[in-house]
Each structure stands twice: as C-alpha cells, then as structure tokens.
Structure 1
Amino acid sequence: MTSPVGLHRVLAPRGVLPQAADRLDSRPEIGPDEVRVRVERLNLDAASFRQLATKHAGDGESVRAEVLAIIEARGKMHNPVTGSGGMLIGTVDEVGPESSLGLKPGDRVATLVSLTLTPLKITDGLRSWDGLSEQVPCDGHAILFGRSIAAVLPDDLPAELALAVFDVCGAPALTDRVVRRYGHPTVAVIGGAGKSGCLSLAAARRAGARTVGVVPTTAERDLLSKAGLANAVALADARDPVALSRAVTEALGGPADVTVVCVDVPGCEHGAILSTADGGTVIFFSMATSFPAAALGAEGLAADVTMLIGNGYAPGHADFALDLLRGVPAVRDLFAARLAAD
C-alpha cells in the first residue's frame, strides 16, 4: 500500500518521512497515486552547490563525482552537509490511476518539492555536466508522491529559466504576505542580487515597501543599482553583524521592519537580527541558516523579533514568481545574467 507522503519509499530508517530518510527506494515501478518523471535537468540549491564547490576547490570532476555518489547512495539528492538538495525538470512518463496531481504523460514539469525527499535514479553518470554550475543536465527518473507538487513548464519561457524561478518561488510569495501585514514597511533583502533576492525585492516593492538590497561586492552593487529593483543598494558582508546592521540602518534611516535573508553562506543570522527593528520580522530563506544561531542570537541580543523559516511553499507561489518575472523586466535580466554566468 502506498502513502501519499511517500512513507512506503523510505528504506532507512523506517518510520521517518522521506526528507529525513537516509535512503529512499527509487525503483521505477509506480504505485496507484504516484507519478514517474523522466528527468532532464536538476537544479542544485545554491547552498549545496557552494558547499560542494568549496570542498573540492572548484574541481568540477570531483563535484560531479560526489553528487553522483550521493544520489546513488541515498536514492535522492540530499547533501549530507547542508541538508538541502534542489529541484528538477523533466517529462511525465507514467501516471498512477489514483494520482491527484493533474498531470498526464508527455507534460514537461518542474517539481516544486525538494530533491531531498524525491526518489531519484540517474542513468547517464551525469556525463553531460561539468560540475561547474547549479544546473545539472542528466538522464534518469524521479518519483512524485500523492502529495508532491509539480508545475507544468510555461510555453513562453526557456526551461532553464523557468527551473531557476521555480527553485526559489517560495521566497517572493512569503515576502509579499509578510510585507502586506505591515502596510508600508521598510524591507532589507540580504543577497538582493541573487535569484530569491531579486524576486523578494520586486515582491516587497510591489506590496508597498521601501527597500534596500544588500550585496557583498561592488560588482553586485552596480548590477543591482542598474536594475533599479531597490530604493537603495548597500554594500556589506552579511557575516559581519555590525557592518551589516550599519549598512541597513544608514540606507533606511533605521533598522528594517522586515529583513529577508537570501544568501547561501552560513553565519548571517546575527547580522540579520541586528538589522531588524523591535517588533519586526526576519525571514530566513537560506539553506545555510542555523536555527540555534538564530534563536540563541536573538535571545542574546534581547531582540524582540519574529523569525520565520521560509518553507518553499505558499499557495500560488509558482504563478506569483512567474508573474514577477514577466512583469518586472529587471528581474528577468538579473536571472538571465546569472544563468549566462553559470
């Protein structure tokens, strides 16, 4: 009997959900409510790819070998260091008669759930990937459960672009929700020139916020300033709490009502908290976030802030992100530039 949340695919340890499992069953045969997808591309999340690239000093062959080894050992792409994975695109092969996902064979789809809980089998050894970018061309199959989420790829966007947007579509949706609760707040987006960062900036401004995008390099500062997505652009290392807080305060005339963390490096929790006004909200969208560092840091700073962990899902999040991409040319330009650089 199959479980809509995939319990029947957990090999070890028994009794946990697929995301927490050490190994999943990635056999191609599907249950009555499952869907099998022929995989054509993975999108590794930024924190996971950065960790692997750093570990192997940018050696693409070594990165490729480790990603393949992780998938083969675990039956899914679940980085054991960062605890994160990414998502994928592919074509629906087979749909179980009891599936409620609304998919049919031949649909080109992007999964909107993490690779850390998606049974995955790679059959081509990742031979078409050089290990130097987050997007991984490949061949293989993946399994979606009864409660998985997937979106049919839009006809008007390149698949690689749509995949990059879907990978971070939870960030702008939650940013929009939080900003609208405040009315017209000030918002700081840490990592504002990145994928989730530029979408979050666009969402915040559309919702009526006054914004600052914080970036670590002059090149990203110039890029984000040219894009015009933020009211101000500040330069600071997010791992330096005092420097980050000073940059945000100077740009906004005080700490932010809402701070959105979209960077892919660890150690940014304290700076984000210090940059946020009492009664404000910090949204952590980075897989590099440490919950103990955030919780204990806020306690140690006597900071009266609400801290949210972006879970990557909100109703309508995929359509919301695509609407921003289509409606805000600067967002699409930043995505295109990042994809070209990769």
Structure 2
Amino acid sequence: MQTSLDHDIFRELGIHRVIEPRGALPQPAWKLDNTPTAYPTETLIDVQRLHIDSASFTQIASACERDTHRISRHIIDIVAERGKMHNPVTGSGGVLVGTIEHLDETFGRKHQLAIGDTIVSLTSLSWLPLYLEHINQIHLDRSEVEVKGKAIFFRSNPLAKLPGDLPQEMVVAALDVAGAPARVAALATPGQRVTVLGAGGTAGLLT
C-alpha cells in the first residue's frame, strides 16, 4: 500500500536529512543527520570499507604526514563534524562497501536487493549520511579505510551488488570512478589525441 511518503521528492533525495543549510541537497550541504537508524523510505548499510577518492585521500595523508593514527583521527573528525565523509578541502568523497542491514521495500525491488547483500555505492560519500564507530585500518597504498559504521541510502541513490568472481579491490576502484572514462568516451572521437591530467589517480589511469 502506497503512502504519501512514496511520492515525497524530499525523501527520495535525502533533503530531510540535511541539517545545514536547511533545504539544500545532501551533497553540497555542510552537515547531514547521520543517525544510524533507517527512517521510512531509507535503507541502512553496515559499512566495512571506505574507498576515499584519490585527491581527498592524498590531501588528508599529506596533512597528517602519512601517519595512520592521525589520518584515522582526521577522518573521524570530518564525519563527526559533517555527518558524512566529505573532505572540506577537496570537496570530494569516494564510495563505500557494506552489507544491507535494513532494506526499504521499494528500493529493494528497484535494485533487486536482499538483506545481507554486499554492495558498493555508486553515489559519492559526500551525499550519504555516515556514522563511524571506529576505524580498523588505513591502507595508504590504495586510499582505502577499513571501518565499522553505518550509512543511509535514499531511494535516488544508485549502487551495485559486488560480484563474487572478481577481486573486491579491483571492482571497487573501477566503480568509484566509472563516470570519468564513460564521460571521456562520450566526448572523444576515434583518432583524436587526448591528454589526461592527473593520471596518478584511479580516474586518470582508467581513462
């Protein structure tokens, strides 16, 4: 049975979770409500990994002199202040890996999901309410953070189920920047010379 919530565009986009400034979309907002409880129309994810985008991770690691304890503290502070992993210096986020803990029925039908499925977000961390209990490990070589936490997905947020026959790190790295090579393919034509700036990051390498 449908309710008025099923047609609420504010809930579809997650605007109801925005604390500051009120009425903004979650991505450009400064702060989100990251209460780790799924309200109606929301899906709750048990988060195991954050794959922070290359520019953001490089900036944080540099500011913390590549000290993993300081990096952990820095990330925890960002999430505590903003309710999401949204680097205020670079303005970027990344993606997460986790398992579905509570599933909105409409969202589940749309993406053919079930509780317990392992997923990777195709929505930037800068859009998703995130609550971190603690950080277990920092992987300096691949911009990845092992965590214990929760995230909220809204009905408008795309995601993908992780395949079981490919290395997780490779799949997550590719999905993290899937839009970049697709955009280049749409703009470039056969025979053109294309210069890629910033090929040290995942997006540049895959492009």
Do Structure 1 and Structure 2 share a fold, with TM-score over 0.5? yes
Letter of the 2:203 counterpart: S
Does residue 204 of structure 2 align to residue 197 of structure 1?
yes
Give the secondary structure class of the aligned counterpart of 2:196.
strand
Offset of residue 102 of structure 1? 3.2
Distance 2:21 2:205 in 1: 39
Give the secondary structure class of the aligned counterpart of 1:81.
coil
Q: Assess if the C-alpha contact under 8 Å between 1:94 and 1:104 holds in 2.
A: no
Letter of the 2:100 counterpart: V
Offset of residue 50 of structure 1? 1.1
User: 1:138-181: per-residue Cα shift (whole Å, max 9, x none)?
Assistant: 111111111001000012112222111111111111111112xx
User: 1:106-165: per-residue Cα shift (whole Å, max 9, x none)?
Assistant: 111000111111000111x21x21463510011111111110010000121122221111
Q: TM-score of the superposition, structure 1-length normalised?
A: 0.54
Match of 2:132 in 1: 122
Distance 2:64 2:79 in 1: 18
Match of 1:10 in 2: 18
User: 1:154-213: per-residue Cα shift (whole Å, max 9, x none)?
Assistant: 12112222111111111111111112xx3431222224454222321xxxxxxxxxxxxx
Q: 2:149 aligns with which of 107, 115, 140?
A: 140
Match of 2:79 in 1: 71
Distance 1:84 1:169 in 2: 15
Give the secondary structure class of the aligned counterpart of 2:84.
coil
Residues 193 and 71 of structure 1: is their aligned pair in 2 closer, same or farther, counting only changes over 3 Å? closer
Which contiguous aligned blocks of 4+ residues in structure 1 show a shift greater than 3 angstroms?
Answer: 130-133, 191-194
Give the secondary structure class of the aligned counterpart of 1:3.
helix
Q: Assess if the C-alpha contact under 8 Å between 1:71 and 1:120 holds in 2.
A: yes
Match of 2:165 in 1: 156
Structure 2 portions without partners, runs of 5+ = none
Give the secondary structure class of the aligned counterpart of 2:13.
coil
Residues 73 and 193 of structure 1: is their aligned pair in 2 closer, same or farther, counting only changes over 3 Å? closer
Bigger Rg over Cα = 1
Q: Assess if the C-alpha contact under 8 Å between 1:38 and 1:90 holds in 2.
A: yes
Q: Assess if the C-alpha contact under 8 Å between 2:55 and 2:201 holds in 1.
A: no
Q: Assess if the C-alpha contact under 8 Å between 1:129 and 1:138 holds in 2.
A: yes
Distance 1:193 1:143 in 2: 31
Higher helix share: 1
Letter of the 2:71 counterpart: V
Offset of residue 31 of structure 1? 3.2
**Percent identity at matched positions?**
39
Q: Assess if the C-alpha contact under 8 Å between 1:32 and 1:98 holds in 2.
A: no
Q: 2:34 aligns with which of 26, 37, 44?
A: 26
Letter of the 1:190 counterpart: L
User: 1:200-243: per-residue Cα shift (whole Å, max 9, x none)?
Assistant: 1xxxxxxxxxxxxxxxxxxxxxxxxxxxxxxxxxxxxxxxxxxx
Does residue 103 of structure 2 align to residue 90 of structure 1?
no
Structure having greater relative contact order (Cα 8 Å, sep ≥ 6): 2
Q: Assess if the C-alpha contact under 8 Å between 2:45 and 2:101 holds in 1.
A: yes
Residues 185 and 120 of structure 1: is their aligned pair in 2 closer, same or farther, counting only changes over 3 Å? same
RMSD: 1.7
Letter of the 1:14 counterpart: R
Offset of residue 9 of structure 1? 0.6
Letter of the 2:186 counterpart: R
Match of 2:118 in 1: 108
Does residue 193 of structure 2 align to residue 186 of structure 1?
yes
- Give matches, 1:1-342, under 5 Å: 1=5, 3-99=11-107, 100-123=110-133, 125-126=134-135, 128-130=136-138, 132-133=140-141, 134-179=143-188, 182-192=189-199, 194-200=201-207
Q: Assess if the C-alpha contact under 8 Å between 1:78 and 1:84 holds in 2.
A: yes
